[in-house]
Amino acid sequence: MAFPKISSSKQTPCEACPLRKMPTFRDFTQEELDFVSSFKTGELTLNAGTTVLSEGAQSAHLFTVLSGWAFRYKMLDDGRRQILNYAMPGDLVGLQATLMAEMQHSVEALSSLTLCVFERERLGHLYRDQPDLAFDITWIAAQEERILDEHLLSIGRRTAMERAAYLLAFLTQRGRASGLFRDDPTVVPLTQQHVADTLGLSIVHTNKTLKKLAERGLLRWGERGCEILDEEGLLKAAGWEGMPESKRRFI
- In the prediction, which pLDDT does 244 show? 85
| pLDDT exceeds cutoff 80 at 246 | yes
Q: How confident is the model at residue 8 (pLDDT cuts 50, 70, 90)?
A: low
| Residue 132 identity (one-letter amino acid) | D
The CA distance from 173 to 47, in Å, is 24
Q: How many CB atoms lie within 10 A of CB 113?
A: 25
- On average, the pLDDT of the chain sits at 92
Q: What is the pLDDT of residues 99-158, one digit of tens each?
A: 777 888 999 999 999 999 999 888 889 999 999 999 999 999 999 999 999 999 999 999
Q: How confident is the model at residue 59 (pLDDT cuts 50, 70, 90)?
A: confident
- In the prediction, which pLDDT does 185 show? 80
- In the prediction, which pLDDT does 179 show? 92
Q: What is the pLDDT of residues 9-49, one digit of tens each?
A: 558 899 999 999 899 999 999 999 999 999 999 999 999 99
The CA distance from 18 to 35, in Å, is 18
* Residue of higher predicted confidence among 244 and 145: 145
Q: Sketch the domain layout of the chain as residue ranges.
A: 6-129, 158-238
Mean pLDDT of 186-195: 96
| pLDDT exceeds cutoff 80 at 228 | yes
Q: How confident is the model at residue 4 (pLDDT cuts 50, 70, 90)?
A: low
Q: How confident is the model at residue 1 (pLDDT cuts 50, 70, 90)?
A: very low
3-state SS class at 43: strand
Sign of CA dihedral 251, 73, 77, 53: negative
Sequence-ordered alpha helix ranges (H) in 118-191: 123-129, 131-157, 160-177
6-129 CATH, one of 2.60.120.620, 2.60.120.10, 3.40.47.10, 3.50.50.60: 2.60.120.10
Class of domain 158-238: mainly alpha
The residues near 165 (Cβ < 8 Å, ≥ 6 apart) are: 213, 218, 234, 235, 237, 238, 240
